[in-house]
A and B are shown apart, each in its own frame.
Chain A
Amino acid sequence: MGIVDAALEEAQKRQVRVSAVHLRLGALSGVVKDALLFSYEVACQDTPLEGSHLIVEDLPVVVFCSRCNERRTLPSLQLFECPECGAPAGNIVQGRELEVFALEIEDDLPAEKSADRKAQNEQAQNEEVRK
């Protein structure tokens, strides 16, 4: 799963343990939130992300209405028109996101200690996997 891979990579880069992954999910991303939540746990199995949570922020579709010269949030995906003036809404400025926005981490590792802590972390992870 791309989300887990991306989060793992970012966590490894920073040498941190992740307790939750914050995802921004656009209404037009083509991804079903429930399916994502369901499969997240499975995808995390046997990785350092095992036991972490996926927190999804739903982003509605926002268009730029050139008639109003304003950004407008669409109340429904079934009608792409400006909710204020009714002009056809083609200029989408938000809604296609599928983005690992942030990681919730449990501890902070100062640079000089990171090698040391990395070993500890790995050991802890290995123990957890064994459990």
Chain B
Amino acid sequence: MSEPRLVEVRRNVLKQNDVIARALRERFREAGVFVVSLVSSPGSGKTAFLERTLTELQPRYRVAALVGDLATENDAVRLARSQAPVKQITTGTLCHLEAAMVQNALQAWDLRNMDFLFIENVGNLVCPSSYDLGENMRLVLMSVTEGEDKPLKYPTIFNSADVAVVTKNDLADAVEFDWNAAQKSIQSVRPGMKIFRLSAKSGEGMQEYLEFLSAQLSEQRALAET
């Protein structure tokens, strides 16, 4: 037998996902829908935050949501209370969403009838960071009960996000949340990232975030026209 030799193949393992994600992004752009994905650890309040977002945007915009979980349709049922179209993606044993799942879930929906589409990822701060879903904006959520140094512990996902939202601010005093330390750790892993501080329960801080979303939509549509 001859000596082992090395052949270069240079193959991106996630290429298949990236190709689908790129196609999705193009579809979103053509349809004029602004797509936001949400990532966070389990229990930080993605669903409550999304429910509030959908409810508040409803009077002015056409909104819809996809929600990923390992099992159960509970989140979809909860979000459907907002009256927005909602579809659950159950991943079985998979700890994250992939672009192909989003593509499948969207089959029956006409994207041209939407202004905003939200994609709630599986609660996990590790794996979702590697998978592009074609979204326009990745939002990472952390709650005040999680500890100010969460971004330092999961730098990959915070670095891959475009916007950070600190939630459950109604509990900030009870847990002696240090806002400056939290800001500092977010900025340290993703310099310049926009941060919102709010409570989906009390509604405090929601307005600023919703206005930001509106501005993003207008900006994207203006860009699409040029």
- Chain A interface residues toward B at CB < 8 A: 2-3, 6-7, 10, 14, 16, 19-20, 22, 27-32, 77-81, 88-90, 92, 97-108
Contact = CB atoms under 8 A, between A and B. Distances in A.
A107 B130 CA distance: 35
Given A28-B159, A81-B191, A106 B130 contact: no
Given A3-B13, A98-B130, A99-B13, A28 B160 contact: yes
Given A22-B6, A28-B156, A100 B13 contact: yes
A36 B44 CA distance: 28
Contact of B11 (A19, A88, A92, A100): A100
Nearest 9 A/B pairs, CB to CB: A88-B191, A30-B130, A30-B129, A77-B155, A2-B13, A10-B9, A100-B11, A98-B13, A78-B152
A20 B5 CA distance: 10
A80 B5 contact: no
Q: Is the interface on chain B under 10, 10 to 19, 20 to 34, or 35 or more residues? A: 20 to 34
B92 interface: no
B110 interface: no
A108 B189 contact: no
Interface of B: 1-2, 4-14, 16, 126-130, 152, 155-157, 159-160, 187-192
Contacts of B11: 6, 10, 99-100
A7 to B, nearest CB: 8
A103 B159 contact: no
Contacts of A90: 190-192
Nearest to A99: B12
A14 B127 CA distance: 32
Nearest to A20: B4
A102 B1 contact: no
B7 A16 contact: yes
Nearest to A35: B126
Contacts of B14: 2, 98
Contacts of B1: 106-107
Contacts of A92: 159
A32 B9 CA distance: 22
Given A80-B159, A88-B192, A90-B191, A102 B4 contact: no
7 contacts: A92-B159, A97-B12, A98-B13, A100-B13, A103-B7, A107-B1, A108-B5
A76 B204 CA distance: 35
A78 B191 contact: no
A88 to B, nearest CB: 3
B211 to A, nearest CB: 25
A6 B203 CA distance: 48
A19 B190 CA distance: 40
B4 A78 contact: no
B5 A105 contact: yes
Contact of A102 (B6, B126, B127, B155): B6
Nearest to B17: A2
A27 B26 CA distance: 29
A80 B191 contact: yes
Contacts of B13: 2-3, 6, 98-100
